[in-house]
Structure 1
Amino acid sequence: MPHQPSGDEPARPRAGSDTTPLAREFFDRPVLEVAPDLLGRTLVRPTPLGPIELRLTEVEAYAGPADPGSHAYRGRTARNATMFGPPGHAYVYFIYGMWFSLNLVCGAEGEASGVLLRAGEIVRGRELAYERRHAARKDRDLARGPARLATALDIDRTLDGADVCGGPDGPLRLLTGSPAVAEHILSGPRTGVGGAGAHHHWRFWIAGEPTVSPYRAHVPRRRKPKAT
């Protein structure tokens, strides 16, 4: 039987959390500074039925044209154009013909670096997230992984380029929240990234958080033998 959400109360105390939107300058820094600093921050997704709020627990950094694992590695395209724009905007892409993933652009305009939002804890609007994540059996699974996160928050390509530093009427906002303590942040290789970027420890997560997604190493695709 699917888990039945028990109201809209936060899963943990939020006393002392700051509801101030993050400034543009927060994102106008090197990606490896921004990525771990996002942990513990609050992402707000307004919906017609009320807001959904997510506390970030896992992210991955991608360093633009200098990073073989980045969508921007081979230059600007129609798909990744948002990455080359100003910091503090959402970059949303479609993957495997099935799912959306949400990234936040950072660094100076033209650098095309960004942070993939891998996982988080739904702290408000949990029942709204369950309406989109019917397969979830536990609260921890609502946004445990980038595709689940995007699904739970109703993220699609229409939000590509959304300004997360904007006002309360915007479709996405990132708040100061309660940033994670540095001593509680761990790092490791990025999930599913192979080649030259396989060993970069550019995935960051909060230790002990049940919402953090399991690590999966890159598995090279096997080429089908040519017919004889």
Structure 2
Amino acid sequence: MHADQLAVEPPVAARRLLGSTLWSGPVGVRIVEVEAYGGDPSGPWPDPASHSGRGRTKRNAVMFGPAGVLYVYLSYGTHLCVNVTSGPDGIASAVLVRSGEVIAGQDEARARRAAARSDADLARGPGNLGSALGITLSDYGTELFDPSAPIRLELNEAVDIAAIASGPRVGVSAAADVPWRFWLPSSPAVSVYRRSPRAARATAESA
């Protein structure tokens, strides 16, 4: 089963998602940038930057379930972020889909993202990607490998690891230097790295 290919440690699942396609109705987005997140201290991948870093809640419950399920949340009260759960059932982890290239349904994506200056901007950045796909909070918990689901994940052939770049995650104040952001440098849709100012201050104070 495809979901089994994501039931692995977060960085492996994240790299596996690169080059794959996320479908929402007629709109298809090729994934070109992701970030991996672990879970709570009792699990194998404790991660203070993760939503599950302090344990299970109603909001993050899907992260503790099986791989291949959609985890959607509202960021800063405005942007919907799209995540794919990973790891074995019962162990929290997920991968944030940060950016992608719209490869199908461009007209519908442009209608949703009228402010986009170019095709590369349509799904660049997690909030824009969610908008281009028309994903809502009601899509939380969608099983992405269910052929009848309105949102589906198509795992394409794995990208050669030599073609993947990695670095620190964007905008997190905790564990900011963990190199769990992965992207395809050849894509113009990859977002710009921005370190959290809170992380910068914390680093300076501890130096």
TM-score by length of 2: 0.91
Secondary structure at 1:64's aligned position in 2?
Answer: coil
Q: Which amino acid aligns with 2:69?
A: H
Structure 2 distance, partners of 1:216, 1:38, is 22
Unaligned runs of 5+ in 1: 1-21, 223-228
C-alpha offsets along residues 172-200 of structure 1, whole Å, 9 cap, x if unaligned? 111122432211100000001123x1111
Q: Paired residue for 1:125, among 100, 105, 108?
A: 105
C-alpha offsets along residues 106-142 of structure 1, whole Å, 9 cap, x if unaligned? 1112211000000000000001001100100100000
Secondary structure at 1:192's aligned position in 2?
Answer: coil
Alignment match, 2:72: 92
Structure 2 distance, partners of 1:61, 1:84, is 15
Matched, 1:172 2:151: yes
Alignment match, 1:104: 84
Secondary structure at 2:155's aligned position in 1?
Answer: strand
Alignment match, 1:198: 176
Structure 2 distance, partners of 1:90, 1:181, is 25
Structure 2 distance, partners of 1:219, 1:144, is 21
90-99 or 169-178: bigger deviation: 169-178
Alignment match, 1:114: 94
Matched, 1:220 2:198: yes
Residue 58 of structure 1 deviates from its aligned partner by 0.1
Alignment match, 1:28: 7
Structure 1 distance, partners of 2:164, 2:16, is 9
Q: Quick check: which has more Rg, 1 or 2?
A: 1
Q: How many residues align?
A: 195
Structure 1 distance, partners of 2:155, 2:9, is 18
Q: Which amino acid aligns with 1:219?
A: P
Percent of pairs identical after alignment? 44
Structure 2 distance, partners of 1:122, 1:178, is 18
Alignment match, 2:205: none
Alignment match, 1:61: 36
| Structure with greater helix percent | 2
Q: Which runs of 4+ in 1 moved over 3 A?
A: none
Contact 1:27–1:88 at 8 Å: present in 2 too? yes
Q: Which amino acid aligns with 1:170?
A: A
Alignment match, 1:71: 51
Secondary structure at 1:220's aligned position in 2?
Answer: helix
C-alpha offsets along residues 130-186 of structure 1, whole Å, 9 cap, x if unaligned? 11001001000000000000000011111100001111x211111122432211100
Residue 205 of structure 1 deviates from its aligned partner by 0.2
Structure 1 distance, partners of 2:2, 2:159, is 18
Contact 1:180–1:206 at 8 Å: present in 2 too? no
Alignment match, 1:159: 139
Unaligned runs of 5+ in 2: 41-45, 202-207
Q: Which amino acid aligns with 2:128?
A: R
TM-score by length of 1: 0.82
Matched, 1:145 2:120: no
Contact 2:6–2:16 at 8 Å: present in 1 too? no
Structure 2 distance, partners of 1:97, 1:83, is 21
Output the aligned Cα RMSD: 1.4
